[in-house]
Amino acid sequence: MTTTRFAPSPTGRLHVGNIRTALHNWLWARKTGGRFLLRIDDTDAERSEERFVEAIRADLAWLGLEPDAEVRQSARFALYQARFDALVAAGRIYPAYESAQELDLKRKVLLGRGLPPVYDRAALRLTAAERTALEAEGVRPHWRFRLDHDMPLAWDDLVRGPQSFDPATMSDPVVRRADGSWLYMLPSAIDDIDMGISHVVRGEDHVSNTALQLQMFQAMGATAPAFAHAALLTGAEGKLSKRLGSLGVDHFRATGIEPQAVRALLARIGTSDPVEPVAAMAPLLDGFDFARFGRAPARFDEAELAQVSARIVHQLPFDLVADRLPAGMDHAAWAAVRPNLERVADAADWWQVIEGPLAPADLAEEAEYCAQAAAVAEALDWSADPWHALTGALKASTGRKGKALFLPLRRALTGRDHGPDMAALLPLIGRERTVARLRAAG
């Protein structure tokens, strides 16, 4: 079974890049009839906060990306320790005693010589007596995974195509700190094995991590999952943008963006498919394919997102927005104003136009026309189509047509030059308010 996972660290709020990764994992799992898991990577006890765990869950729920199960790395330390001990016994993980300052000096020396800053494996040359002496002095080792330089690091990436790294050009990665805490790569690989992850879907900034993790899977006797590394997002200006790190669900909700718009945009940018204002998941699932993603950075534009969101608002049924509308606003009112909204919250402005009170329009030059319109409106049969009955009668009696006929009426009745179809709006305003507004304008 296809099994994907989204693995955020609860050290802050999700940003748009995280959301895109979660969406891609969810889409691939649902498209293939598989499972989508949430893994909370909370091994960093000092920086992880429960409030961020709750926020991650809430953000995924708002986006409609409910996981099938959730696991937390902080509850899995015994599993990590068992795998760690086995790898130490097999000689694939070894202790290293250099301080951060010593390692930094080594890197600077190599760079100064024009060489890649690859760890020299000095720790492997220590004798047992030398290690014992260092530990007697209070030096606590960090732990590195020993790469097999004879085993090429290669895979066929679902987005990037064939990938290959020479392990001899890479440092043995540190997998555990001197204080016993875990770094990302080994626990992640252990979890992917234990959770049966079939596809690891993440950003291209993890490509080198994947190369290193391939040997970790092999060392633990496991088949590596398939990998898909999507190109990173860039801002509208075409460059990597720090602002993208601050854009998340809180921002989208505050600016009135619909979750369906976030999904519609993030599912398609970076692919050869057009971004469309689809409110349902089905079209996104049908078209989702890693082969459609390009290697060029994916351009995220807030203005485009707002446009997609507005077009989705125009599709939303009353039942999906009722709890966000002003008290008393019903199906008919929503249907009338929806085509003119950019955000659901803007419906409140039009409800105020409908219900009033409304400041009298300044139409002194149209006073006689508005007074005549008030008289006609008062005598109309309002059970059918009062707007066309009103304008038809006024056209016949005044000879007006076009803007001269319609615009003064719209201004007198709504205080605005543009807006929803008056044929839909006028029955909501009703006879009493219509007559009163026309009289006030006249």
pLDDT of residue 266: 97
- φ, ψ (nearest 5 deg) of residue 263: -65, -45
Looking at residue 239, its pLDDT comes to: 63
Residues 6+ apart with CB under 8 A from 320: none
Amino acid identity, position 285: L
- Domains of the chain, earliest start first: 3-71+186-231 (3.40.50.620), 79-176 (3.90.800.10), 242-313 (1.10.1160.10), 318-355 (no CATH), 364-441 (1.10.10)
Question: Mean pLDDT for each 10-residue chunk of the chain (442 residues)?
Answer: 97 94 98 98 92 97 97 97 98 96 94 94 96 95 97 96 96 96 96 98 96 98 97 79 81 96 96 93 95 92 96 97 96 97 97 93 91 96 94 96 96 95 97 96 80
Please name which of 184, 145, 188, 192 lies closest in space to residue 167, comparing C-alpha atoms.
145
Q: What pLDDT score does 240 carry?
A: 61
Determine if residue 242 is labeled as part of a ligand binding site. yes
Q: What is the 3-state secondary structure (H, E, C) of 271-318?
A: ECCCCCCCCCCHHHHHHCCHHHECCCCEECCHHHHHHHHHHHHCCCCH
Q: How many CB atoms lie within 10 A of CB 106?
A: 16
* Burial environment of residue 114 by CB neighbours within 10 A (0 to 12, 13 to 18, 19 or more): exposed
CA angle 399, 400, 401 (to 5 degrees): 120
Token pair for residue 277?
Answer: 């204002």
Distance separating alpha carbons of residues 37 and 45, to the nearest angstrom? 22
- Say what the pLDDT of residue 416 is: 94
Tokens of 66: 């409910």
* φ, ψ of residue 97 in degrees (nearest 5): -115, 0
3-state SS of the chain: helix, strand, coil percent to 5? 55, 10, 35
Alpha-carbon Rg for the chain in angstroms: 32
- What whole-number distance in Å separates Cα of residue 381 and Cα of residue 12? 61
